[in-house]
């Protein structure tokens, strides 16, 4: 469901049953064939959309009254983003300015990447998170993932190896992907096989078979 259509549904629902219930209802039924609520005759579609955004902002701010900036950010991340990511970033930025905790940095780093495709900002937050808690495999894992997406494969491998040492299983997949991109098919196969031992799935199986086939061709 696109944002404009979602807003046309969600704001009238908010007025009737409350913001959290409305958002959950839309999430639960987002694959249904809704008929868009008609745009009022005295407004253009753009004016109507802007008004709905403003109403959603007011209602979401009421929802988070009394919460700390970090609690508000967590609530917004779960309930309304990407419907209203501007308010989420306002609150998570405030939380980090007040107290740059590991949890807040991880929350913002993940959101930078998943909501705004801002990999460099995500990298910076994950680096800070690793500095705060160097024993967190999740922080090393997410840093490895974003470094790989940025093309820094060597440092991604360093971070993924550290994450594996600390207990990450998903980082075997990251290692397999990195070595494949570096052209080292045998190392890639080794890590994909290790990943499959811990998290069996059809994608891993298919990738393993593909790599075995490619290696066999090259060794002919």
pLDDT at position 63, please?
Answer: 86
Average confidence score pLDDT of the chain: 84
What pLDDT, in 10s, does the model give residues 56-67? Answer: 778 888 889 999
Nearest to 5 by CA among 19, 31, 43: 31
What pLDDT, in 10s, does the model give residues 24-42? Answer: 444 434 444 444 556 778 8
Tell me: cis bond preceding 82? Omega within 30 of 0 counts. yes
What pLDDT, in 10s, does the model give residues 162-216? Answer: 999 999 999 999 999 999 999 999 999 999 999 999 988 899 999 999 999 999 9
Q: Is the pTM of this model over 0.85?
A: no
Domain boundaries, the chain: 1-63
């Amino acid at each position: 469901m696109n944002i404009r259509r979602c807003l046309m549904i969600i704001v009238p629902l908010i007025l009737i049953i409350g913001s959290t219930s409305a958002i959950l209802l839309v999430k639960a039924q987002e694959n249904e064939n809704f008929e868009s609520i008609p745009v009022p005759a005295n407004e253009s579609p753009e004016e109507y959309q802007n008004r709905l955004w403003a109403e959603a902002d007011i209602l979401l701010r009421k929802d988070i009254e009394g919460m700390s900036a970090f609690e508000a950010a967590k609530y917004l991340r779960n309930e309304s983003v990407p419907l209203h990511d501007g308010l989420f970033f306002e609150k998570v930025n405030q939380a980090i300015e007040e107290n740059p905790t590991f949890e807040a940095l991880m929350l913002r780093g993940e959101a930078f990447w998943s909501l705004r495709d801002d990999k460099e900002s995500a990298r910076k937050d994950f680096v800070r998170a690793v500095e705060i808690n160097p024993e967190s495999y999740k922080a090393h894992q997410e840093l490895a993932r974003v470094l790989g997406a940025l093309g820094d494969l060597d440092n991604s491998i360093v971070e993924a190896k550290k994450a594996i040492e600390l207990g990450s299983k998903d980082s075997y997949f990251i290692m397999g992907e990195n070595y494949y991109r570096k052209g080292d098919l045998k190392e890639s196969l080794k890590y994909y096989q290790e990943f499959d031992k811990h998290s069996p799935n059809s994608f891993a199986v298919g990738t393993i078979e593909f790599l075995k086939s490619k290696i066999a061709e090259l060794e002919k």
